[in-house]
Amino acid sequence: MTVTTSDTASAPQPKYRKDYQAPGFWIHEVELWFDLGADGTTVRSSIRFERNAAVTEPGSPLVLMGEELETLRVSVDGKELGASGWSATATELTVRDLPGDSFTLETEVRIHPESNTALSGLYRSSGNFCTQCEAEGFRRITWFLDRPDVMATYRVTVTADKTKYPMLLSNGNRIEEREEEGGRHSVVWEDPFKKPSYLFALVAGDLHCHRGTFETMTGRTIDLEIYVEHKDADKCDHALGSLQRSMKWDEETFGLEYDLDLYMIVAVSDFNMGAMENKGLNVFNSKYVLARTDTASDADFEAVEAVIAHEYFHNWTGNRVTCRDWFQLTLKEGLTVYRDARFTADKTSEAVKRIDDVQGLRAHQFAEDSGPMAHPIRPEQYIEMNNFYTSTVYEKGAEVIRMYETLLGRDGFRKGMDLYFERHDGQAVTCDDFRAAMADANGRDLDQFERWYLQKGTPTLKAVGCYDEPNQTYTLELTQSAPENEPHFEPTHMPVSFGLVGPTGADMGLAFEGEDASKAPTNRVLELREMTQTWTFHGVCARPVPSVLRGFSAPVNLEMERSQEDLAFLFAHDSDSFNRWDAGQTLFKGVLLALADRAAKGEALTLDPAVVEAVRNLLNDESLDGSLKSQAMSLPGFSVLSQARTHVNPAALIEARDFVIETLSRELRGDLLAQRKAARPTGAYRADKESIHGRRLANAALGLLSATGEDDIIEMAEEQFAAADNMTDSQAALGCLVQIPGSHRTQALQAFYERWSGDALVMDKWFAIQAMSRPFDVAAYELLRAHKNFTMENPNRVRSLVGVFAMQNFRGFHAQDGSGYRAVADAVLELDSLNPQVASRMVRALNPWKQFAAPWSDLMKAQLERIREKKGLSKDVFEIVSSALG
């Protein structure tokens, strides 16, 4: 990514990874006092500093970071400094009169959580106080060396009105509680573990506490506390169970035990991201805590469990061992996403989870990696760090971790993890340290593997296979090539999981020369390290169909010439569930792109009956569970299809996709009805695996059936909607009913609204379901934008309407008159002044403008330019817009 910052002298400047320097001072101990009030909060700090002589000269001043702080007082070693002793700008406090190389600095500042709409630092949500400090929000609370390599122990006193804020929480252990004058009280917290400031947290409010315990592998009892608003008291069971399962799993899988005696999770309804792993006091978007079967779908339940696990796993991968600097973010995020994915795979289905993940990776990360915000998983530069909490750092980062596992094996990976903790517990380290632990624990050379951290873009892996019948050999040639946007590409160390499928559909032995094919493994991990390498397998007694990149063993675009017949064969037989699904995707993708090209020329569309038959076979294959069947019939989405084209005509892509969906719906009607009937769980709602697979298939079938809008299907959806005793079925039925205009649509939306208008998370669904529906155009968007339940101040609500419209409603967003782009740009401009982090997420919908044909590309670009013109644009949005236009 390149950022043009030359426009004005005051344009925000990037920071570079290569410029890393250790801090000029270390901090050992921090003591904080918070006096929380209705108009303003006072924060007093007492910080023990020690000069880092390796970096700064004796006598040089101390420079601390801050933002939006009103400084009331500064003293050193108990003596208040006069005006000449210190000075403050908007972002820096410089203290000159230092008594020596180690001293205690005290400051007192005034901050305004009550008007903090950016939701970074200390802010208010539903009348309570809470914090979000990652990445650089702690400096909005007090003057500090707000960087992750400065680690200290904290002692925190929180004082507030006792009636309004009976719960006063911070990190670590609650060590004291006392009454204060005027109906106030104080609670003192001490966190014995050294931590960086981004893991600091404070919560004050009137909250319900849902309690549980966990007994650790060494027999310690941990208190678990989940704090929610009182109205949500009956939606905490699943979160607590998820936490207990996560704690158990991390002990069993990685031998990792929880360290403090208390683990708290607080749900807040205004939150910029998913959740935050603050030491001993996680703060969560309520979306990832609250779950009750009538308000949360099966997918929501799974997401709650995954995010709870993710934040819990951070206690070791993130907190005990943290990042030296923010460029290393993937050190903790890629690793922790990898860990939560393995957890979910263990708790649900490995195959289904892998397919869901790769589908997401291709739709979001591959798109990011080929667009203007492309960056390596370890970025080289940033202007606003919050912009780099991306699917590249998280999801591609997790793919890179998964490649270590594929290369080293599960046991080898575990050895590497053990060594990583043995070496680095209590430290702030780098991705290179992690890679070294993996290499050293296994006696392997992983130098070349660093390129996955250095190079941006998605490499292409080209596979060419050749069967030599007379010699009974099969030769596979693999070639890696540079992503278009990575001019400095050098070959990566790439694990390619491989198999040969024989004519019966069974795997064949993969024997190298001199080996016995009947005893050889049927799956091998080939390590590609050169640009091109070949492998020859012997004793291949019949023409096989190759299955390359099984399990999606590397995050690349696979290119391989394959006939429709071979793809259909793999779709029916591959023993690797991922590749089986992916063969279908490749088949559909080819068909859809060819149809889109025809549609763009105004030609008539027809669908090859073989494609219909391939899907019919899958639907009726009783060896597949309902989730795998529903994944098998989901077509590649707009993002994946448009990545395969330059000068995308969105209207033609949509037309082609609609055509295939409608044809499948018509041709498979009987099969879909039968599948739905057989799959739907009967009786009262249950949340076991079988029922979840059943609902997923039944609802996917209903979704596909409803594409043609026939009356009997609408009635079926109406019946399901009226009778549903759970959100999975209710939401799915509503999702069908809104696709076609008519009284069924308005009535269902009205009924849903009346039932759920008091529940914010369900109302988010009400907005999102409409925002992604077919009839939802800009006029409909404007109506919801003006709806009394809409607000720009709640990030979940913004994502449900603006985010879904911009990123999931391709019809409405890509309206040919540019009205969709204008509406989203209007929202970005409004959000920029309220909440730059959320604005900078929304604006990314315009990033791929160069990929589109005229007039779309020009219309998108014009809106980016309009945003760039805004005076006082946040650096968050500035960075995105200037890279998009750069």
Query: Catalytic residue positions?
Result: 311
Nearer to ligand ARG, 298 or 876 (CB): 876
Quick one: what does residue 729 bind among ligand ARG, Zn ion, none, with the CB cut-off 5 to 8 Å set by partner type? none
Nearer to Zn ion, 282 or 874 (CB): 282
Quick one: what does residue 272 bind among ligand ARG, Zn ion, none, with the CB cut-off 5 to 8 Å set by partner type? ligand ARG
- Smallest distance from the beta carbon of 329 to Zn ion, in angstroms? 9
Token pair recorded at residue 370: 């080929």
Is residue 389 a contact point for ligand ARG (CB under 6 A)?
yes
3-state helix, strand, coil in the chain (%, to 5): 45, 20, 35
The DSSP annotation for 429-457 comes to E-HHHHHHHHHHHHT---SGGGHHHH--S
Nearest Cα to 284, choosing from 316, 308, 258, 250?
A: 308
Nearer to ligand ARG, 191 or 333 (CB): 333
Nearer to Zn ion, 95 or 309 (CB): 309
849 C-beta neighbours (distance < 10 Å), count: 21
- Smallest distance from the beta carbon of 803 to Zn ion, in angstroms? 20
**Cis status, amide bond into 609, omega within 30 of 0:** no
Strands 281-285 and 262-268: parallel
Cβ-contact 131, 67 below 8 angstroms: no
- As beta bridge partners, residue 122 has 131
Token pair recorded at residue 341: 């994915």
- Smallest distance from the beta carbon of 272 to ligand ARG, in angstroms? 5
- Smallest distance from the beta carbon of 341 to Zn ion, in angstroms? 12
Helix (H, G, I), strand (E, B) or coil at 763: helix
Stretch that binds ligand ARG, among 131-139, 434-442, 501-509, 877-885 (CB under 6 A): 131-139
- Smallest distance from the beta carbon of 831 to ligand ARG, in angstroms? 15
Cβ-contact 188, 177 below 8 angstroms: yes
Quick one: what does residue 136 bind among Zn ion, ligand ARG, none, with the CB cut-off 5 to 8 Å set by partner type? none
**Cis status, amide bond into 135, omega within 30 of 0:** yes
- Smallest distance from the beta carbon of 409 to Zn ion, in angstroms? 26
- Smallest distance from the beta carbon of 307 to ligand ARG, in angstroms? 8
Among 239, 276, 716, 881, binds ligand ARG (CB under 6 A): 276
Nearer to Zn ion, 151 or 393 (CB): 393
Token pair recorded at residue 251: 């002990």
The DSSP annotation for 682-718 comes to PSS---SHHHHHHHHHHHHHHHHHGGG--HHHHHHHH
Stretch that binds ligand ARG, among 129-137, 455-463, 624-632, 826-834 (CB under 6 A): 129-137
Is residue 528 a contact point for ligand ARG (CB under 6 A)?
no
Stretch that binds ligand ARG, among 275-283, 399-407, 462-470, 732-740 (CB under 6 A): 275-283
Nearer to ligand ARG, 113 or 491 (CB): 113
Stretch that binds ligand ARG, among 88-96, 273-281, 295-303, 569-577 (CB under 6 A): 273-281
| Touching ligand ARG, residues 132-151 (CB under 6 A) | 132, 134-135
Nearest Cα to 548, choosing from 538, 558, 536?
A: 558
| Touching ligand ARG, residues 785-844 (CB under 6 A) | 837
Nearer to ligand ARG, 81 or 135 (CB): 135
Is residue 131 a contact point for ligand ARG (CB under 6 A)?
no
- Smallest distance from the beta carbon of 71 to ligand ARG, in angstroms? 25
Question: Which residues lie below 8 Å from residue 262, measured CB to CB, with a gap of 6+?
Answer: 172, 173, 174, 222, 223, 225, 280
- Smallest distance from the beta carbon of 257 to ligand ARG, in angstroms? 20
Nearer to Zn ion, 336 or 577 (CB): 336
Nearest Cα to 496, choosing from 466, 534, 455?
A: 534
Stretch that binds ligand ARG, among 128-136, 441-449, 611-619, 704-712 (CB under 6 A): 128-136
| Touching ligand ARG, residues 495-524 (CB under 6 A) | none
Angle in degrees, CA 277, 278, 282, rounded to 5: 65
Helix (H, G, I), strand (E, B) or coil at 473: strand
- Length of the chain (residues): 886
Question: Which residues lie below 8 Å from residue 718, measured CB to CB, with a gap of 6+?
Answer: 733, 737, 744, 748
Is residue 311 a contact point for ligand ARG (CB under 6 A)?
yes
Report the C-alpha gap between 411 and 417 in whole angstroms.
10
Number of residues that bind ligand ARG (CB under 6 A): 14
Q: Which residues bind Zn ion (CB under 5 A)?
A: 333, 336
Report the C-alpha gap between 93 and 66 in whole angstroms.
7
Nearer to Zn ion, 328 or 336 (CB): 336
Nearer to Zn ion, 325 or 333 (CB): 333
List of E strands, 517-640: 524-528, 532-538, 545-548, 557-559
Cβ-contact 50, 145 below 8 angstroms: no
| Touching ligand ARG, residues 418-437 (CB under 6 A) | none
- Smallest distance from the beta carbon of 18 to ligand ARG, in angstroms? 23
192 C-beta neighbours (distance < 10 Å), count: 13
Among 272, 359, 365, 391, binds ligand ARG (CB under 6 A): 272
364 DSSP 8-state letter:
I
Helices (H), 378-497: 391, 397-424, 431-442, 451-454
Centroid of chain to Cα 503 = 40
Nearer to Zn ion, 153 or 336 (CB): 336
- Smallest distance from the beta carbon of 413 to ligand ARG, in angstroms? 21
Report the C-alpha gap between 742 and 747 in whole angstroms.
9
Among 277, 368, 399, 876, binds ligand ARG (CB under 6 A): 277
462 C-beta neighbours (distance < 10 Å), count: 17
- Smallest distance from the beta carbon of 747 to Zn ion, in angstroms? 42
Is residue 284 a contact point for ligand ARG (CB under 6 A)?
no
Nearer to Zn ion, 199 or 664 (CB): 199
Quick one: what does residue 134 bind among ligand ARG, Zn ion, none, with the CB cut-off 5 to 8 Å set by partner type? ligand ARG
Among 11, 273, 303, 780, binds ligand ARG (CB under 6 A): 273
| Touching ligand ARG, residues 622-661 (CB under 6 A) | none
Stretch that binds ligand ARG, among 153-161, 268-276, 536-544, 571-579 (CB under 6 A): 268-276
| Touching ligand ARG, residues 436-495 (CB under 6 A) | none
For residue 834, count CB atoms less than 10 angstroms from its CB and return exposed for 0-12, middle for 13-18, buried for 19 or more. middle
Quick one: what does residue 796 bind among Zn ion, ligand ARG, none, with the CB cut-off 5 to 8 Å set by partner type? none
| Touching ligand ARG, residues 321-340 (CB under 6 A) | 333
Quick one: what does residue 275 bind among ligand ARG, Zn ion, none, with the CB cut-off 5 to 8 Å set by partner type? ligand ARG
For residue 519, count CB atoms less than 10 angstroms from its CB and return exposed for 0-12, middle for 13-18, buried for 19 or more. exposed
Cβ-contact 867, 873 below 8 angstroms: yes
Amino acid at 198: Y
- Smallest distance from the beta carbon of 308 to ligand ARG, in angstroms? 11
Is residue 386 a contact point for ligand ARG (CB under 6 A)?
yes
Q: Half-sphere exposure of residue 882, counting CA atoms within 13 Å on the CB side?
A: 24
Nearer to Zn ion, 336 or 663 (CB): 336
| Phi and psi based region of residue 146 (left: phi greater than 0; alpha: psi -120 to 50; beta: remaining) | beta
Report the C-alpha gap between 153 and 156 in whole angstroms.
10
Quick one: what does residue 368 bind among ligand ARG, Zn ion, none, with the CB cut-off 5 to 8 Å set by partner type? none
Stretch that binds ligand ARG, among 160-168, 269-277, 417-425, 491-499 (CB under 6 A): 269-277
Binding site for ligand ARG (CB under 6 A): 132, 134-135, 272-273, 275-277, 310-311, 333, 386, 389, 837
